[in-house]
Homo-oligomer: A and B are copies of this chain.
Amino acid sequence: MHFPGSHIIGIDAFIREDIDRIFHTADRMRPYAHRERVTKVLDGAILGNMFFEPSTRTRISFGCAFNLLGGEVRETTGFESSAIAKGESLYDTARVLSGYSDVIVMRHPQSGSVAEFAAASRVPVINGGDGANEHPSQALLDLYTIRNELQSRGRDGIDGLRIAMIGDLRYGRTVHSLSRLLCLYRNIHVVLVSPQELRLPESLEVALREAGHQVTVTDKLEESIRKVDIVYSTRIQEERFASREEADLYRGKFRLNQAVYTQYCEPNTVIMHPLPRDSRAEANELDNDLNENPNLAIFRQADNGVLVRMALFALILDVADQVDRHARDVNWYTERRF
């Protein structure tokens, strides 16, 4: 991938060096995201933040990332207000909207829609999620978090990683993308923990094995989290099951709380989750009693999303090397706990 002017549609377009470059650039965004420094490198640039499907966190995260580089954001937040609803083609929408901004982030409920849109766009397009298909910035922030968490525990690089992915592995878009990204690395041990009915699609399991990785399939939580670096938990989606009772059977088994963590996990095992987490008592997915556990990395994932998105913008718009030249210190109160 050649970044300046490139679209970011799916993760299959990346090679390992691209990921390295994105992560290296994200690292350099930290002083800006953490409000130690201000940069105006994109002063005058406009992001078209086109969310044709509701989203708060992803939309705000992309918007803030662009603001943090000094740019402006124009956006749309729902499908109903769109000309697409009146029969306008994605081609027309793309031709029109791409005249309004320097880069576009697009979320759309329809699988493949963002690629079709990007083909007609006159400016670079980042996929902000196209239905059940791709959400590349989420996969990148997950992998970036893994890399950073390992690093802060004295481990360099992703090769040799041991990771348990837990929950609905069949429909969860994030575990699919993360699995594909992991194929770029070496010597990974992937423990797939799900009910039989919700196993990872076979094609992905095959891809992981063909990449030379060790793959363990199980439906038991406790044994799977004993010897891993990362526990990546996802939601059991009740609506996939024949009955609530059936769903509850699985839910009990995959519930991670502090007691389970202490009993089974190695010290400093990292806990991740693609937010939002369902915190209602009956959800049983990742207990609130883990909130004070320093290895709970779920909010660091969200923070890292800003860094990764800043990096994507900086690379696509070819300003990564100029960021520090347009910078100064922050002059307002900022005692943040990152």
Residues of A within 8 A of B (CB): 4-5, 35, 38-46, 48, 54-57, 59-61, 63-64, 67-68, 70, 72-74, 76-78, 80-83, 86-89, 91-93, 95-97, 99-102, 122-124, 275-280, 283, 288, 291, 298-299, 302-303, 306, 316-319, 322, 330-338
- Taking a contact as CB atoms under 8 Å apart, the answer to whether A89 and B279 are in contact is yes
A288 to B80, CA, bound (A): 24
B100 touches A81 (CB 8 A): no
Residues of B within 8 A of A56 (CB): 76, 81-83
B81 and A299 form a contact (CB under 8 A) = no
| B332, A317: Cβ atoms closer than 8 Å | yes
* A5 partner, pick from B96, B101, B317, B333, beta carbons under 8 A: B333
* A335–B88 touching, CB < 8 Å: no
Chain B residues, CB < 8 A from A67: 46, 72, 74
Distance (whole angstroms) from the CB of A248 to the closest CB of chain B = 16
Given A39-B44, A56-B82: 14 more A-B contacts, CB < 8 Å: A46-B64, A48-B60, A54-B81, A83-B275, A83-B276, A87-B276, A87-B279, A88-B275, A91-B288, A92-B279, A99-B302, A99-B306, A316-B333, A319-B332
Cβ–Cβ contact B332 & A318, under 8 A: yes
Contacts of A298 in B (CB 8 A): 92
Most interface-central of A99, A279, A318, A322 (chain B CB within 10 A): A99
Q: Which of B35, B46, B64, B335 interacts with A68 by CB under 8 Å? A: B46
8 contacts between A and B (CB under 8 A): A5-B335, A56-B76, A72-B73, A83-B275, A86-B276, A88-B276, A88-B277, A100-B306
Q: Are A81 and B88 in contact (CB under 8 A)?
A: no
Nearest B residue (CB) for A304:
B99
Give the shortest distance, in Å, between A117 (CB) and chain B (any CB). 13
Residues of B within 8 A of A299 (CB): 92, 95-96, 99
